[in-house]
Amino acid sequence: MQQLPLILRLMRRRARKGPAARYDVTWERAVPVPGADGNTLLTDHYAPVTGEPCPTILLRAPYVRGGFPWNYLYGALFAEQGFHVLLQSTRGTGGSDGEFHTWRNEAPDGQAAVEWIRKQEWFSGDLFTLGASYMTYTQLSLAAEPPPEWRGAIAQVGLIDPHAFFWPGGAFALERSLVGGLAMFGQAATFWDNVKAVLRLQRHLRRATLGLPLAEAYQAPFGGRRAEFEHWLEAPDAADPYWAGADVTDSAAALPIPVTLMTGWHDLATEQVIELYRRRHASGMPVELLIGPWTHTSSLGEGWTETFTQALRTLRGETPAQPVRVHMGGVDEWRDLPDWPPSGRPSTLFLSAGTLRSEAGPGSTTFRYDPNSPTPSIGGALQSPTQGTHDNAKLEKRSDVILFDTEALTEAVEVMGEVRFVADASTTAASGDLFARLCDVSPDGKSINVCDGLARITGGRTEVSLGSTAHRFRPGHRIRLLVAGGAHPRFLRNYGTGEPPGPATRMIATDTTVRNTSFVVLPVV
């Protein structure tokens, strides 16, 4: 073991929020740990300087394990609180042997890592798992055969069901697949090689998202073909053999240890996290839920103090007064609750000539969606600079976007739970999508996105889940429903032909009609 790199030593000394360090920290870089089939998986070990036995935290990821923020946020900060921390590079990443697969090897390699930990003289017998994004998936992959030493799992902004992550609502999640692809299988062994890869992605992102055929255009940011990306793109059906065994929700729901779930209202897989919470709570399994005003990336920035504090409470066996803590939008406050969602009454609002009203009426609204000039994605569950909450003015000025507003509210309306849009809609093309978004419109006309979602038009009624939220619409504000034919590149633009998206080279515009028998359901509390 040796002292931490200079940059980490300097960062530990700077003024910061959160608890003071309890121990000094040493580390050992690139420890060779055997994987399930003998491949060597490189692992960095951060250790508190103490002769006392300390619990161990295992994190497994395809990210650059020795680079910021992982080495600081997870390695140094948790080790100084009295934990051995192991950051392991998954197969084919960060110098580890083998070939990376999005999910297939994580359970056996995770079990092999635990077997190695058992044999170490510093292991106290208490093991925790921790981590954000794909690190949630690697830790919950252990749930099918939980190690007896496993004391708790802390899952942050996590991926649980890979198919639902890449094909939400029936559309391919292009932006997250490109950015996530870089993070998952584009990682090189060094920090600077990774910086070059990020710059290449930024340089070629427009070409990758607008070029045809997509099966060729996507290659530019990666410098060539990536078999994993093509597997994602070519398997839209959850029943495709490629996804067999990928979803770990069932085993994670039955995991008989404390599980802490953290996500953000604009995270990439918020509904997966909430569904896992719901199932664990319903079956009496120990579970806590934290939802902040964060995106996938801001949870590790502006949300770090809250998530770090919650993680330490779990690691130390401290039980909160209430198992659920959520951030309330519109008023910027936190609510502690006994369950999610809280009980309430559904409020149904029908579409009517640009307004939302309590009763259905005649009429309809038609808009044209042209994939040659697709409706852009602004705000919401993105990984670009426009992620999170934004003024939707630019989006709402487009002719392919239709709006429906309530009157100015005379009293506050609190919405907590899943928002649904049930659309009586049709399209003139072979295939079409509906994107729906709930917005909070202030008296000065500023329209801020609250929650949203997309679904493929199926004929008859199409139900669009706008996801879950906790938001207070204040007096004088209006509730707005925004409807469009897409949100590209967050969701791959619908070409209108019904052809597989990878090889397609043809696109047609479509006229979408939304009838006033359509309605939005708000979970009002």
The confidence score (pLDDT) of residue 198 equals 82
Is residue 112 classed as helix, strand or coil in its secondary structure? helix
Res. 189: pLDDT tops 60: no
Instruction: Report d(CA 24, CA 9) in Å as an integer.
Output: 10
Give the type of residue at 448: I
End-to-end alpha-carbon separation of the chain, Å? 55
Give the type of residue at 117: I
Give tens-digit pLDDT for 249-288: 999 999 999 999 999 999 999 999 999 999 999 999 999 9
Cis bond before residue 489 (omega within 30° of 0):
yes
Cβ pair 371, 509 in contact under 8 A: yes
Using a pLDDT cut of 70, give the percent of the chain over it: 98
Q: How confident is the model at residue 16 (pLDDT cuts 50, 70, 90)?
A: low
Instruction: Specify the higher pLDDT residue, 71 or 471.
Output: 471
Give tens-digit pLDDT for 472-510: 999 999 999 999 999 999 999 999 999 999 999 999 999
Instruction: Report d(CA 307, CA 45) in Å as an integer.
Output: 22
Model pTM greater than 0.75? yes
92: left (phi over 0), alpha (psi -120 to 50) or beta: left
Give the type of residue at 437: R
Res. 406: pLDDT tops 80: yes
C-alpha radius of gyration, the chain, whole number: 24
The confidence score (pLDDT) of residue 433 equals 98
- Least confident residue range of 9-23, 289-303, 323-337, 375-389: 9-23
Instruction: Report d(CA 271, CA 171) in Å as an integer.
Output: 16
Report whether CATH 3.50.40.10 matches the domain 2-161+247-336. no
Give tens-digit pLDDT for 163-180: 999 999 999 999 999 998
Token couple for 292:
């902040």
* Burial label, 479 (beta-carbon count in 10 A; 0-12, 13-18, 19+): buried
Give the type of residue at 311: A
Res. 15: pLDDT tops 70: no
The confidence score (pLDDT) of residue 284 equals 97
CATH of 345-497+505-524, one of 3.40.30.10, 3.40.50.300, 2.60.120.260, 3.30.450.260: 2.60.120.260
Cβ pair 380, 490 in contact under 8 A: yes
Token couple for 323:
């198992």
SS3 letters across 262-331: EEEEECCCHHHHHHHHHHHHHCCCCEEEEEEEEECCHHHCCCHHHHHHHHHHHHCCCCCCCCEEEEEECC
Cβ pair 113, 60 in contact under 8 A: yes
Q: How confident is the model at residue 187 (pLDDT cuts 50, 70, 90)?
A: low
Instruction: Report d(CA 62, CA 184) in Å as an integer.
Output: 5
Phi, psi of 202 (to 5 degrees): -60, -40
Cβ pair 381, 267 in contact under 8 A: yes
Give the type of residue at 473: F
Instruction: Report d(CA 181, CA 220) in Å as an integer.
Output: 13
- The arithmetic mean of pLDDT across residues 207-222, rounded, is 96
Res. 7: pLDDT tops 90: no
Give the type of residue at 109: D
Give the type of residue at 22: R
Give tens-digit pLDDT for 31-84: 999 999 989 999 999 999 999 999 999 999 998 787 777 888 899 999 999 999
The confidence score (pLDDT) of residue 71 equals 86
Q: Calculate the alpha carbon distances from 304 to 229, 323, 474 in Å.
A: 30, 19, 28
Instruction: Report d(CA 449, CA 378) in Å as an integer.
Output: 9
Phi, psi of 299 (to 5 degrees): -65, -25
Residue of 398, 348, 331 lying closest to 368 (CA atoms): 398
The confidence score (pLDDT) of residue 190 equals 63
Q: What are the counts of helices (DSSP H) followed by strands (DSSP E) for the chain?
A: 14, 22
Q: How confident is the model at residue 186 (pLDDT cuts 50, 70, 90)?
A: low
Average pLDDT, the chain: 94
Phi, psi of 281 (to 5 degrees): -65, -40
Q: Which residues contact 157 (CB under 8 A, 6 or more apart)?
A: 132, 133, 136, 262, 263, 264, 267, 268, 269, 273, 294, 296, 299
Q: What pairing do the DSSP bridges indicate for beta strands 510-515 and 364-369?
A: antiparallel
The confidence score (pLDDT) of residue 191 equals 66
The confidence score (pLDDT) of residue 207 equals 92
The confidence score (pLDDT) of residue 499 equals 96
Q: Which residues contact 204 (CB under 8 A, 6 or more apart)?
A: 220, 221
